Amino acid sequence: MRHLARHSNQLTLRDLDPRVLAEIERLARSEGLSINKAAAKILKLGAGIREAPEERRIGKAIDRFVGTLSAVEARALSRTLGAFDKIDEEMWK
């Protein structure tokens, strides 16, 4: 069995499960990442390594949802969220 040198940060994977490869490609597309960065992110998550709190900020986390609503869905969402635009004057006295 060949061991990686401590300074090496490269890894070649063969015979990946097609579902894993599809998930790497999906993540890369949805977050605008390279295949390499998407695979590294999935490996970290699979290893139980979680991002630091500052890395969990919204940032690009919701980018995959931008532009996915139909016009009808967008109008319905706007109507629903409209309730949050109302200010309760009594609450602020």
Residue 7, in any domain of the structure: no
Residue 91, in any domain of the structure: no
Residue 53, in any domain of the structure: yes
* Total structural domains within the chain: 1
Q: Which residues contact 57 (CB under 8 A, 6 or more apart)?
A: none
Token digits of residue 44:
């970290």
Residue 56, in any domain of the structure: yes
CA distance 17 to 69: 31
pLDDT tens, per residue, the chain with 93 residues: 555 555 568 888 899 999 999 999 999 999 888 999 999 999 998 888 877 665 556 566 677 777 888 999 989 988 888 888 888 788 777
Residue 2, in any domain of the structure: no
CA distance 72 to 93: 38
Helix (H) or strand (E) holding 28: helix 18-31
Q: How big is the chain by its Cα radius of gyration, in Å? A: 21
Token digits of residue 19:
């579902």
Residue 57, in any domain of the structure: yes
Residue 71, in any domain of the structure: yes
The parent domain of residue 24 ranges over 18-86
